[in-house]
Amino acid sequence: MMVVAIIFAAFSVFWATAPFTAINLPARFILDLSDWPLDSLSAQLDKNIMWLSAIGAGLLGAIAIFLGGVVAPAIKEGNKPIIRTTILAMVFWYVIDSVGSIASGVASNVFFNSIYLALVLIPLVGAGKNKKIG
């Protein structure tokens, strides 16, 4: 889970460049990739995309810290309530983000959401099967 937290933190830092026009190529790449195919990498981001990207990147960074600082130790300890709550939280995020992406016309984002969900759920589900949780 610590590796997943680091991946999420790095992703959030790249995504957080969106509001900074001079250095926002990483964010433009992430946003264009999420709205597959890569076809608007050179387009400038509008104010709303910059703003919502800053919010999303901040939330993803917070999730990364939560996964590394709370969930990873909970997995080692076999803390069933934290493991279950994290699974519920990630499924909740997945459903809302994916349904919203489809409704917004960016169904390709569901593919990327599925990867992120799997990165988190695999260690969580594995923890429940490999450890005695009480």
> What's the confidence (pLDDT) of residue 134?
43
Instruction: Please choose, from the candidates 19, 39, 36, 35, the residue with its C-alpha nearest in 3D space to the C-alpha of residue 27.
Output: 19
Q: Output the pLDDT for position 104.
A: 95
pLDDT at position 128 is 60
| pTM for the structure as a whole | 0.84
pLDDT < 70 positions in the chain: 128-134
Q: What is the pLDDT of residues 62-76, one digit of tens each?
A: 999 999 999 999 999
Quick one: pLDDT at residue 133?
A: 44
Question: In this structure, are residues 97 and 23 in contact, taking their beta carbons and an 8 Å threshold?
Answer: no
Residues whose CB is less than 8 angstroms from the CB of residue 36 and which lie 6 or more positions away in sequence, other chains included:
108, 111
Could you tell me if 101 and 110 are in contact, meaning their C-beta atoms sit under 8 angstroms apart?
yes
Instruction: DSSP for 60-110, please give it.
Output: HHHHHHHIIIIIHHHHHHT-HHHHHHHHHHHHHHHHHHHHHHHHTT-TTHH
* 58 to 3, 5, 12, 108, 128: CA distances (angstroms): 19, 14, 7, 22, 29
